[in-house]
Structure 1
Amino acid sequence: MTPNTNNNNVSSQVPSHWPRHIHYLREPVYHSSVPEALRVFLLGPPNPKSAGLSTSRPPVAIRSISDTSHPAHGQYGLFATRKIPPHTRVIVYIGEIHCEDRPESDYDLSLYRSQDGVNVGVDASKMGNEARFINDYRGICAHPNAKFVDERNGETGRLEMGVWSGHQGIKKGEEILVSYGKGWWNART
């Protein structure tokens, strides 16, 4: 593991196979495009019980894809390091929270759309955590074994993009796969 100290939200412990040009985060970073009032809403009410919470690593590992039939052959994927029961929060998708249009990013997820039409995204193209390595299930298996869920974290109060296991759970050693959605694929064809 290599130290990375470019930001206060960057962890000093970087997981194996982490790209050197991507800042590893343990907490989201807020871009200047997020208005202060919206940032307060996204952060949620302070929870005194969240102080000193465990910062243990999620049950995942980044691994290279060596299977030549895999659509991401030669790249990386995210794999379960232990059995993950059904309907379990696996990891939070962490990156830069922003209110800009970023069509060039393959790592940008929609987090929230305000009533006045402001879109909030979380982009892990330049900074993020292990969740940025989750691949789409297409070409790998019949169905995803996990899904993205925008949710309010009960411990921190933050609005986050959680990754949850599906109804069958995820076996130890199995790749964690989601559906990127038709919109993601349509934007790239």
Structure 2
Amino acid sequence: MNQSKAPARWPNNVEYLVQSILDPKFPKESRELLVVGPDVPPSQLAGRSSQRIPVTIKIIDNPNHPAFGQRGLFACGKIAANSFILPYIGEIHSDDREDSDYDLSLHRACEISIGVDASRKGNEARFVNDFRGIQPKPNATFRQGADCRGWLEMSIWSGPLSIKKGEEILVSYGKGWWKARQALLDPTETKTGNTEET
């Protein structure tokens, strides 16, 4: 049911999904945290359409692009402002995946952290790039919502301006993502958190 034909330029080492799946190690007692409850205000959830906007994966051939030689996600037609583009699909997990560049948080609490990781399984959304070094600001954003099962889901929406046909869809990964990547690249760097001058 979850299998579908992968789109053009899909990597051979990544399983293509049409719906997020649970990691087999996901704790049964935590599954209730995946379900969007009636106590969650609608204003906190993205009300998405079941219709996805047509997008395409392209290999970045601009040598000045930070992701040169890698893949990006592009609009196949004009995308209206504040429109649902597609869900971010992957493997829903509760373990630490600090080494993944494709992991988004769905729920974080003292006792558990739940994420969706598209490093080994996912859809086209895994190819959305960060805007830094490409455009002055992102033209799309991540929003939390619910899938057709009522499970927490992250999705990609266009920003306050429309996205032109052929334009790359770009989001902000957030400063935390970049700080975590820097720490992985330079584990000897220590941070004290003290910014005051004495």
TM-score calculated relative to the size of structure 1: 0.84
Q: Which moved more, 1:171-180 or 1:26-35?
A: 26-35
- Describe the SS at the equivalent of 1:38: helix
Aligned identity (percent) is: 51
- For structure 2, the residue ranges without an aligned partner over 5 or more in a row are 38-48, 183-198
Tell me how far 1:55 sits from its aligned partner. Answer: 7.7
The correspondence of residues 106-121 of structure 1 with structure 2, limited to 5 A, is 106-114=101-109, 116-121=110-115
Cα shift readout 1:84-135 (whole Å, capped 9, x = no counterpart)? 1111110000000000010000000111124x43110000000000000000
The correspondence of residues 1-40 of structure 1 with structure 2, limited to 5 A, is 8-11=1-4, 13-40=5-32
| Structure 2: distance between partners of 1:187 and 1:41 | 25
| Structure 2: distance between partners of 1:55 and 1:89 | 9
* Pair 1:186-2:174 in alignment: no
Tell me how far 1:10 sits from its aligned partner. Answer: 2.4
Q: Does the CA-based 8 Å contact 2:53-2:84 persist in structure 1?
A: no
- Describe the SS at the equivalent of 2:126: helix
State the superposition RMSD in angstroms. 1.9
| Greater Rg over alpha carbons, structure | 2
Tell me how far 1:36 sits from its aligned partner. Answer: 2.4
Cα shift readout 1:14-47 (whole Å, capped 9, x = no counterpart)? 10000011000001110133222432442458xx
Q: Does the CA-based 8 Å contact 2:138-2:171 persist in structure 1?
A: yes
> How many residue pairs align between the two structures?
171
